[in-house]
Chains A and B, each alone.
Chain A
Amino acid sequence: MLSRIADSLFWLARYIERAEDTARILDVNYHMLLEQSQDSYQLRWEPLIVMAGEEHLFRRLYSEVNAENVFEFLAFRPDNPSSIIQCISKARENARTIRDCISREMWEDINGLYHMVGRFSPRDEIVAGPHRFCDRIKFGTHRFHGVTDATLPRDEGWQFLRIGWSLERAEMTSRLVDVQYQNLLDELPTTGTPDNHQWMAVLRSVGAVEAYHRQYHSSIEPEKVAGMLILNPQHPRSIRFSTTEVQSGLRAISGSDRGSYANEAERLAGKVVERLSYDRIEEIFKQGLHSYLNELSAMFASIGSDIARNYFYYAVVA
């Protein structure tokens, strides 16, 4: 497989995943906040900007952090490189450069999604609220996963897609837990115990409310929620599950056996998986959730750059 193609597949998947994660977070937050009092209403939008990693840009573009501005910024702004429409458009652009390597169905699906997204009027959607828009995005990305699953041979290309969206998802979930937890804890002194609704919202944003209830049969507790999102071996959006996917994908490409590794990306992915398999949530809290997740994020970044070094780039040899 051409290096350029592997690169495009990897980023195609990352952009699709980023669009979906942003849509999920936007939608859930919006609805959670409708149930809140006015003063905390304002506060809740900050973490979304932080999570997207675009605080500076946001402050340059807007004077106020409110629902409309954040929605517009995260969903529609063409000058925000992480906005949903930008992610979809970049995913589609990547797909376009490699359309001979993906199935015709995949191309038509992502191309259709791109044209659909382009037809939304930001003004109308902002008035209507994010639900309708975010729902279409989620449905669109899910369908793309389904079409991919049903039509793409399980060759190296598929592995690069799998690594792309799993790595992006691991990073996004890690950021989500970190930012939300930080934020909710900051409020503890004034509001007493944090509101169940907010934790429920975190779970809902990764589609894990029902799984949580099945596993714990209890009320929503912050530590259990964090434990579920970080350590659960089965939930498709937990950090552990996603990292295991990254590891399996890398191994399938290099052909390395369990217990060995062919490159730095594999070594790091293996290390994270081991850690997440044997750590307990109490230990994590003892170390400090924020520093723990920070370490994970740094590892994910290294895995990403090592994949690029190994498979995508060619040093020009003079």
Chain B
Amino acid sequence: MKALTWRLLEYYTAMEAARPRAMIPSLFAGYDLGNFYDEMFSRPGEPRRPYAKVFERLASISSEQFDERRKLADLSFLIQGITFTVYSDGRNTERLFPFDLIPRILANSEWRQIDRGLTQRVLALNLFLQDVYGKQCILKDGKIPRSLIYSCPYFVREMVGVEVPRGIFTHVCGIDLVRDSKTGEFYVLEDNVRTPSGISYVLENRLVLTRIFPDAFHASEVLPVDHYPAELSRILRSISPRGADDAQVVLLSPGIYNSAYFEHSFLARQMGIELVEGRDLIVDGGIVFMKTIRGLQRVDVIYRRMDDEFLDPLAFRRDSLLGVPGLMSAYRSGNVALANAVGNGVADDKAIYAYVPEFIRYYLGEDPILRTVETYICAKPGDLNYVLGHLAELVVKTVGESGGYGMLIGPTADRKTLELFRKRISQNPRNYIAQPVIPLSRVPSYDVSSHRLGGRHVDLRPYCLFDGKKVVIVPGGLTRVALQRGSLVVNSSQGGGSKDTWVLRGEG
């Protein structure tokens, strides 16, 4: 019986192999590498090593077969409710986050380099936060201007002198990397150390992709990612003021109308902790409680997925209905732990970004492993002049914004937008930085209208967990892809999609 099955299998495999390639309308027909670093191909038709097995399988299926699998994946996301809500015509409609089925693949050696670079960076960022809310040595030593720190809207004075549990500020960081087409190397584009989101897509994308392309996945030997929730849970328990064993850990979400709500419920489920909203919590005598059917129950650790300013109407925005009155004072007196810490925004301010290499040298005595993008800080008069003189060649970013908002891409902007930004920058230089345009690398992605693959620009957001001693990074992370042809903006709020990211066990 077994022998028969094997023989059939062999037979089918032979059939597949014997099928003439030219008969199949290839997904790759007319694929153009363009003037960019293509992550799949080194030259037309010549896949790089990590992609070899995936290419082989993709080349053997027709665009119809591919489209069928794509629809299956979409349906699976819809049924699972992996959607975000948009408001149009006065109604809420739910949309899928576009998921592109072609994986983004990194060889093991490439990833190890990234992993080391990120580890170094996370350690430095955490040390910087400890310092800036503590002794402020780096300011005294003049390595970064005081004015830059005190003018940052995310510097939280209430945090000065607060001792956070185990000295951890950056429990979770999402650090955005891009690969420059000119050098083929990875650069850090920005740090997200407040409440980075997207990890649920990493885990769900993987699940869906392994169901849809089990063979290609299996053949490539990909490192797993599904230990993330357990690692995060371990860290959250470790910061409990009452010890890890009895820790009551909750995830605080703004609720179902938040665009990341799916992720909040996903993580709560994966970690087996309560998902709470502000209205479920109450502070009494400096202790945080949640309202249960059996009365009030003490809360030790809050993984909050809400910005600082909404956390506590008594400390920050008084009109916040999402937060919990008294939470900050409970936190400051050490009765409850928050992850991430409050006030982290001072470390991912886009102007502070330019100083992170200096942090690495100052706190760790090491040279930065990952490169950063050359950054003009408009608060510096010299930089400001340069930026205003070269607006049309630069990317201008608002220092506190994320999600691709408040951005100017000089080379593609029209005259009116350029003038608008020129005025805004001159009025409030501290609020802006500028960087050269980076020609992002591309990965083949499915184009729904042509039913073919086309090169699309990508970035990479790995998720780094810090437990006070070591940094744990799940291999890969979220690859975001600008699905619009020619677009450089990968943010989901701006028409971007995502890909599963594979880190191989070997070199491919």
Interface residues of A (CB under 8 A from B): 1-4, 6, 93, 96-101, 104, 107-108, 111-112, 115, 156, 253, 311-312, 314
Residue of A2, A115, A312 with most chain B CB atoms under a 10 A cut-off: A2
Cβ–Cβ contact B81 & A4, under 8 A: no
Cβ–Cβ contact B269 & A2, under 8 A: no
- Name 14 A/B residue pairs within 8 A (Cβ), A-sorted: A1-B293, A2-B280, A2-B291, A3-B292, A4-B279, A4-B291, A97-B255, A99-B81, A99-B265, A99-B269, A108-B79, A111-B79, A115-B78, A314-B291
Main SS at interface, chain B: mixed
Task: Identify which of B157-165, B270-278, B433-441 touches chain A.
Answer: B270-278
Contact of A108 among B80, B255, B265, B292 (CB under 8 A): B80
Decide: A4 near B79, CB < 8 A? Known: A97-B255, A99-B269, A100-B275.
Answer: no
When distances are taken between beta carbons in the complex, the residues of chain B under 8 Å from A108 are: 79-81
By size class, the interface of chain B is: 20 to 34
Cβ–Cβ contact B277 & A4, under 8 A: yes
Contact of A100 among B255, B265, B280, B294 (CB under 8 A): B265
Decide: A97 near B256, CB < 8 A? Known: A2-B276, A107-B81, A111-B81.
Answer: yes
When distances are taken between beta carbons in the complex, the residues of chain A under 8 Å from B481 are: none
A192 to chain B, nearest CB (A): 52
When distances are taken between beta carbons in the complex, the residues of chain A under 8 Å from B274 are: 2, 100
When distances are taken between beta carbons in the complex, the residues of chain A under 8 Å from B256 are: 93, 96-97
When distances are taken between beta carbons in the complex, the residues of chain A under 8 Å from B275 are: 98, 100-101
Interface residues of B (CB under 8 A from A): 78-81, 255-256, 261, 265-266, 268-269, 274-277, 279-280, 282, 290-294
When distances are taken between beta carbons in the complex, the residues of chain B under 8 Å from A99 are: 81, 265, 269
CA distance A312 to B261 in the complex (A): 23
Cβ–Cβ contact B291 & A111, under 8 A: no
Residue of B81, B276, B277, B290 with most chain A CB atoms under a 10 A cut-off: B81
Contact of B293 among A6, A96, A97, A101 (CB under 8 A): A6
Cβ–Cβ contact B81 & A96, under 8 A: yes
A52 to chain B, nearest CB (A): 24
When distances are taken between beta carbons in the complex, the residues of chain A under 8 Å from B279 are: 4
When distances are taken between beta carbons in the complex, the residues of chain A under 8 Å from B255 are: 97
Closest partner residue, chain B, to A110 (CB atom): B81
CA distance A96 to B94 in the complex (A): 13
A-B contact sample (20 more), CB < 8 A, given A3-B292, A104-B269: A2-B280, A2-B293, A3-B293, A4-B277, A4-B279, A4-B280, A96-B81, A100-B274, A104-B80, A107-B81, A108-B79, A111-B80, A115-B78, A115-B79, A156-B293, A253-B293, A311-B293, A312-B293, A314-B282, A314-B291
B256 to chain A, nearest CB (A): 5
Main SS at interface, chain A: helix
B429 to chain A, nearest CB (A): 44
CA distance A121 to B103 in the complex (A): 38
Closest partner residue, chain B, to A96 (CB atom): B256
CA distance A107 to B261 in the complex (A): 14
When distances are taken between beta carbons in the complex, the residues of chain B under 8 Å from A311 are: 293
B75 to chain A, nearest CB (A): 10
CA distance A314 to B81 in the complex (A): 31
When distances are taken between beta carbons in the complex, the residues of chain A under 8 Å from B294 are: 1
CA distance A314 to B294 in the complex (A): 11
When distances are taken between beta carbons in the complex, the residues of chain B under 8 Å from A111 are: 79-81
When distances are taken between beta carbons in the complex, the residues of chain B under 8 Å from A1 are: 292-294
CA distance A100 to B266 in the complex (A): 7
CA distance A101 to B266 in the complex (A): 11
CA distance A314 to B295 in the complex (A): 9
Lowest 6 CB-CB distances: which A-B pairs, in order? A100-B268, A100-B269, A311-B293, A100-B275, A99-B265, A100-B265
Cβ–Cβ contact A3 & B291, under 8 A: yes
A91 to chain B, nearest CB (A): 14
When distances are taken between beta carbons in the complex, the residues of chain A under 8 Å from B277 are: 4
Cβ–Cβ contact B79 & A2, under 8 A: no
A95 to chain B, nearest CB (A): 9
A316 to chain B, nearest CB (A): 9
B305 to chain A, nearest CB (A): 13
Closest partner residue, chain B, to A111 (CB atom): B81
When distances are taken between beta carbons in the complex, the residues of chain A under 8 Å from B78 are: 115
A254 to chain B, nearest CB (A): 10
CA distance A108 to B82 in the complex (A): 10
CA distance A193 to B293 in the complex (A): 52
Closest partner residue, chain A, to B269 (CB atom): A100
CA distance A17 to B195 in the complex (A): 39
Residue of B261, B290, B292 with most chain A CB atoms under a 10 A cut-off: B292
Decide: A2 near B80, CB < 8 A? Known: A97-B256, A99-B265, A100-B265.
Answer: no
When distances are taken between beta carbons in the complex, the residues of chain B under 8 Å from A253 are: 293
Closest partner residue, chain A, to B276 (CB atom): A2
When distances are taken between beta carbons in the complex, the residues of chain B under 8 Å from A3 are: 280, 291-293
CA distance A93 to B266 in the complex (A): 16
Closest partner residue, chain A, to B78 (CB atom): A115
CA distance A1 to B275 in the complex (A): 11
When distances are taken between beta carbons in the complex, the residues of chain B under 8 Å from A100 are: 265-266, 268-269, 274-275
CA distance A101 to B265 in the complex (A): 9
Cβ–Cβ contact B79 & A112, under 8 A: yes
